[in-house]
Structure 1
Amino acid sequence: MWVGTYTADSNGQGEGITAIAAATDGTLTWLGTAAEAPSPSFVAVHPSLPVVYAVGEAAQTVRAYRRNGEFGLEPLGGSWSAGAAVCHVAVDPDGRFIVVACWGDGNVILYGLDDDGGITSRFVAAPAKDPHAGEEGAVDIATGGVRVSRAHASLMLDDGRIMTTDLGFDLVRVWNYFPDSGLLLDHEVALPLGSGPRHLVQHPSSAVFIVTEYSIEVAVLLPGADGRFAISGRGPASEGGAVDGDAAAEIVLSQDARFVYTGIRGSNRICVLAVEGSGTRLRPVVDVPSGGNWPRHHIVTDGWLHVAHERSHQVTTFALDPTTGIPGEVQGQLSVGSPTALIPAG
């Protein structure tokens, strides 16, 4: 798998995009630095080509890389400008485009791709408007000042549309793709003031589960007959509740879609939630220590849970109980400088 990292330009200890291998017994092995890159804090893989995309968070760029050898990566074209604190990239399932989200200025940007996976065009989507503007207590939680747009992630929906989160404006936006103009807004869903929608995942039921960084919850969005999403429920992202200093991070589904795993930084927990109601409700089950400091990102693969700990510079592996979905004891740890994302290499 590829590991996104923070490098020196973000006060991190990584060197670029890191390659590690996962054995069938869950053991992780360091392969090396696949490509030196400036703070590639999030990485995505082309669905059919040996091409990888990485943001440069501090450099405000996005770049394509072509696989070279077993685990090496070489630049495919030059770097493209993005926005301030670009923090996420996702790839269209048909390989037509990528979408990046920028925490610093709220930009959501679509980049067109050619038949080789290279970046060929750039379209900045319409800026977000704060649905809570003028409400009492409407301040930017990150700074305490005036609220600003903070795009954080995008998700390719099963119906071909794109959903993006805006952590600063407590807003979810749904887009349609047009090859000659990029993303055009379909509709919006406002989440409660101060919730901070961060990352999101779609269940086979079509429900979208969104973890909120500030309120430490999971919001469930369901599409109506007209295709418009609406909030059908909200609940805690952990069984034990939040504590001071917590910030929710990643949310993923188990491979059988029976469980959801959320990561909570601060108290450093991985939280297991059971999926109920034919995929429309979540019930917190148990919290377990994440095995390190600041669990920024995690993935589930082949019955294993791998957790990237940004501040303790390690990836921790747990075996998952196939019946309960609960992580067991730590199976192993691999030292990686400032890991921020774990992405299967395909």
Structure 2
Amino acid sequence: MDNGQTLIWVGSYTADRNAKGEGIAALSADDHGRLTSLGLAVAADSPSFLASHPTLPVLYAIAEEAQTVRAYRRTGDAGLEPLGEPWPAGEATCHVATDPHGRFIVATCWGDGQVILYELDHDGAITSRTSAAAAVDPHTATSLQEQRPSRAHSSLMLPDGRVMTTDLGHDLVRVWRVVPGEGLQLDHQVILPKGSGPRHMARHHSGTVLVDTEYSVEVAVLRMEPDGTYELATMVPASATGAKDGDAGAEIALSPDGRFAYVGVRGSNRICVLKVSNGGTELEPVAEVPCGGEWPRHHLVREGWLYVANEGSDDVVSFTLDPATGLPDGPVSRVEMGSPSMLLPAS
């Protein structure tokens, strides 16, 4: 979009989840943070997470309840149409990410722990599906009563071509090599404290990866060693005041300069701000602000603005970010959106 307008795709939960969304919606944000709904881009069943192709006008969406992944082609200014048929995924598929070279996408499945690689053709269409090896819980004893389900939750593309994924159920972060025609092969894994629940990730420009945890509401700092392996450097509370009863970590995002991290906390409905220093390896919680609604499932940091998708209050809100302190101020603008679950700037 032009004239100072940014197009943002909005994923949602729909009727199959007893929610109010209708599919993938579109909204615009202007240079003053004002948000305007552009309506429904395409009807879809609970497209709760989205990813865009790096060079083509193609979008990928999971259908969380239908257990599928589908490609969509952009039409006009703010429309989408299906590109090919839906591909089977796993139970409660909750995240999708795109290879920066456009060769494949990776979907992660909360329900059954699957991590699935889908190869793409030159048009961005899905052509094959390969499921990776299942996770093994490093914390669980041999007793069957203590077995915990695997809960693959997100993936992150690393600059060297490897893929990093979280397993919220097994408190694991796994690093994979991509083998053409064979999918993902395990390179190594990082074990987080039992019960922490690693959820989403953000890579600092230093190479350090920050992982927010859903259960313990912390940020894990994964430092890359000279041999390319990652190690857990520290765990830092997302909030200086601590987690409240009923809290659950949601999204983590970094400021473009890497000086601040923003963690959404559902339950107490906060955005927590952490100062990042020493090459991304040191974090300090410095502030927290109300998210401007209820159940902040996802947020986006872009060009001096913070946009928050509040699933529980059916709205998206914008905050301005202070360039010196990193602190959000607002809400500046609010737009009603049915059960928004994810915000993705259109490429």
Shared fold by TM > 0.5? Answer: yes
Q: In the alignment, what sits opposite 1:206?
A: 207
Q: 1:59 aligns with which of 41, 63, 66?
A: 66
Matches within 5 A, 1:56-135: 56-134=63-141
2:196 paired with 1:195: yes
* Cα distance in structure 1, aligned partners of 2:185 and 2:325: 41
Deviations 1:131-169 (A, max 9, x none): 011189x96xxxxxx410000000001221100000000
Is the CA contact 1:309–1:340 (under 8 Å) kept in the aligned structure 2?
yes
CA contact (8 A) 1:195 1:214 kept: yes
Alpha carbons 1:240, 1:287 under 8 Å: kept? no
**In the aligned structure 1, how far is the partner of 2:279 from the partner of 2:254?**
14
Matching of residue 28 in structure 1 with residue 40 in structure 2: no
Q: Whole-Å Cα distance in 2 between the matches of residues 339 and 318 of structure 1? A: 17
Q: Distance in 1 between matches of 2:304 and 2:288?
A: 18
Indicate the SS of the match to 2:70: strand
| Mean CA deviation greater in 156-165 or 97-106 | 156-165
In structure 2, C-alpha distance between the alignment counterparts of 1:175 and 1:83, rounded to whole Å: 19
Find the counterpart in structure 2 of residue 176 from structure 1: 177
Q: Pick from 7, 23, 26: which aligns with 2:14?
A: 7
Contact 2:208 2:279 (8 Å CA) reproduced: no
1:142 is matched with none
Superposition deviation, residue 278 in structure 1 = 2.3
Amino acid at match of 2:230: F
1:183 is paired with a residue of what secondary structure?
Answer: strand
Which segments of structure 1 move beyond 6 Å, counting only runs of 4 or more?
none
Are 1:267 and 2:274 matched, yes or no?
no
Count of residue pairs the alignment pairs up: 339
Q: In structure 1, the residue corresponding to 2:299 is in which secondary structure?
A: strand
User: What SS does structure 2 have at the residue aligned with 1:116?
Assistant: coil
Taking the aligned partners of 2:224 and 2:257, their CA distance within structure 1 comes to 22
3-state secondary structure, aligned to 1:9: helix
- Identify the residue that residue 5 of structure 2 maps to in structure 1: none
Local SS of the residue matching 1:39: coil
C-alpha separation in 2, matches of 1:178 and 1:135:
32
Return the letter of the residue paired with 2:18.
N
Q: Is the 8 A contact 1:166 1:198 kept in 2?
A: yes
Q: Distance in 2 between matches of 1:212 and 1:135?
A: 25
Structure 1 match to 2:280 = 279
Which residue type is aligned with residue 292 of structure 1?
Answer: G
1:22 and 1:28 in contact (8 A); partners too: yes
Q: Structure 1: which 5+ residue stretches go unaligned?
A: 140-145
* Structure 2 residue identity aligned to 1:58: E
- Post-superposition Cα deviations, 1:19-61, rounded to whole Å, max 9, x if no partner, equal 1111111111100111100100000000000000000000000
2:293 is matched by which residue type in structure 1?
A: G
Encode CA deviations 1:69-94: one digit per residue, 9 max, x unaligned: 11110000000000000000000000
In the alignment, structure 2 segments of 5+ residues that lack a partner are 1-7
**Distance in 2 of aligned mates of 1:192 and 1:69:** 47
Q: Which residue of 1 aligns with 2:25?
A: 18
Q: Counterpart of 1:244 in structure 2: which amino acid?
A: D
Shift of 1:255: 1.4
Is 2:28–2:38's contact at 8 Å kept on the other side of the alignment?
yes
Percent identical among aligned pairs is: 61
Q: Is the contact between residue 272 and residue 285 of structure 1 (CA under 8 Å) also seen in structure 2?
A: yes
- 8 Å Cα contact 1:250-1:262 kept in structure 2: yes
User: Which residue does the alignment assign to 1:38?
Assistant: 45
Q: What is the CA distance between 1:225 and its match in structure 2?
A: 1.8
